[in-house]
Amino acid sequence: MALNDRLLNAWYAGHPALALLRPLECLYRRVVNKKRARFLAGEGDIYRAPVPVIVVGNITVGGTGKTPLILWMIEHCRRQGLNVGVVSRGYGAKPPSLPWRVLPQNSADEAGDEPLLIVQRTGVPLMIDPDRGQAVRALLAQEPLDLILSDDGLQHYRLARDLELVLIDAARGLGNGRCLPAGPLREPIERLHSVDALLYNGAAKDRDDGYGFELQPLALINLLTGERKPVEHFAPGQAVHAVAGIGNPQRFFNTLEGLHWRPVPHPFADHALYSAKTLAFEPPLPLIMTEKDAVKCRAFAAANWWYLAVEAVPSTAFAQWFDSQLHRLLP
């Protein structure tokens, strides 16, 4: 098990050795609290866009379902006649220059896996740059937009925001509740008191402190041909190789089990890079991966490789609340 995996397990399962990291945690807390205090005081170089900015983020290390929720938000806003743009850091991307407008024909190497997935699925205008304020400026210079969604960026305090949504993995929660490196939190848990809404990925019902949303399987898509099949394409009990390079791979494996298949799990690090050799598993079985992984594997895909397309299904109460916020921000 890699060091990162061992640390992740310790954060969520508990380990007495983490107490040794608490002095470093105190230093980390001091830095992030000072950074936020400067933002609240209006100090430093903070860019305020001429259109509303909605940040979709988290306070934990690892994935919580931000990309599926952003896909839902894009389509939801479009149905109301809004022109939406997206900005992203573009984690792991190596574009020729910055800021970089992501196009469907880009490679995952230059665009990043999540930005490329969003553009290929929706065609939304999307700009990547670690400086998200710079990304917003560049996007608005190219497109007449009503609204900007920031993929992650909760802790990117150089960009002013009008709404903050925080996603939490309903199954894993906040781990031991401690900040890095003694726990998985990017900011102290008290930060949740200042955000506009919490959403729990995997919660079938709303909670007292937030809204529930689930990921609903839509279809199987063949990587090689683009052929689309219903999720019933594989009979119950079918054994499949399951590949997931996301923040919480087990969530994907559980989804496949919920479809009554027998996944042979192959977890990888978030944003992992793949090759045909990496995914040459035995025995030969159908291989199913996440859509995020698929954008990096099409060039060398085999005939029986598929990805499971999913969509976020937030609660009715969240959709109503979100509509009220849109009306407030866009009178």
The CATH number of the domain where 51 resides is what?
3.40.50.300
119 shares its domain with 75: yes
107 shares its domain with 149: yes
Contacts of 52 (CB under 8 A, 6+ apart): 146, 147, 148, 162, 163, 329, 330
Alpha carbons 145 and 69: distance in angstroms, whole number? 20
158 shares its domain with 180: yes
- Which domain, by its residues, includes 155? 3-212+314-329
The mean pLDDT value of the chain amounts to 95
Q: Quick one: pLDDT band at residue 8, thresholds 50, 70, 90?
A: confident
128 shares its domain with 224: no
179 shares its domain with 44: yes
Terminal C-alpha separation, the chain: 52
Q: Quick one: pLDDT band at residue 3, thresholds 50, 70, 90?
A: low
Specify the length of the chain in residues.
331
Helix (H) or strand (E) holding 218: strand 211-222
User: Are the CB atoms for 292 and 243 separated by under 8 Å?
Assistant: no
Q: Which pLDDT belongs to residue 2?
A: 55
User: Are the CB atoms for 56 and 89 separated by under 8 Å?
Assistant: no
Q: Which pLDDT belongs to residue 7?
A: 86
322 shares its domain with 288: no
Alpha carbons 65 and 4: distance in angstroms, whole number? 20
167 shares its domain with 240: no
Model pLDDT for residues 62-109, shown as the tens digit of each residue: 888 999 999 999 999 999 999 999 999 999 899 999 999 999 999 999
Alpha carbons 328 and 272: distance in angstroms, whole number? 40
One-letter amino acid for residue 128 of the chain: I
Model pLDDT for residues 169-226, shown as the tens digit of each residue: 999 999 999 999 999 999 999 999 999 999 999 999 999 999 999 999 999 999 999 9
21 shares its domain with 126: yes
Model pLDDT for residues 246-263, shown as the tens digit of each residue: 988 999 999 999 999 999
User: Are the CB atoms for 123 and 104 separated by under 8 Å?
Assistant: yes
Alpha carbons 106 and 295: distance in angstroms, whole number? 10
Q: Which pLDDT belongs to residue 232?
A: 94
Query: Which residue from 177, 174, 192, 181 is spatially nearest to 27, judged by alpha carbons?
Result: 181
186 shares its domain with 232: no
What domain count does the chain have? Answer: 2
288 shares its domain with 187: no
Q: How far is CA 208 from the centre of its chain?
A: 24
Is the preceding peptide bond at 95 cis, omega within 30 degrees of 0? no
Q: Helix, strand or coil for residue 237?
A: coil
Helix (H) or strand (E) holding 287: strand 287-290
User: Are the CB atoms for 118 and 126 separated by under 8 Å?
Assistant: yes
111 shares its domain with 230: no
15 shares its domain with 98: yes
Alpha carbons 205 and 322: distance in angstroms, whole number? 17
Alpha carbons 302 and 250: distance in angstroms, whole number? 24
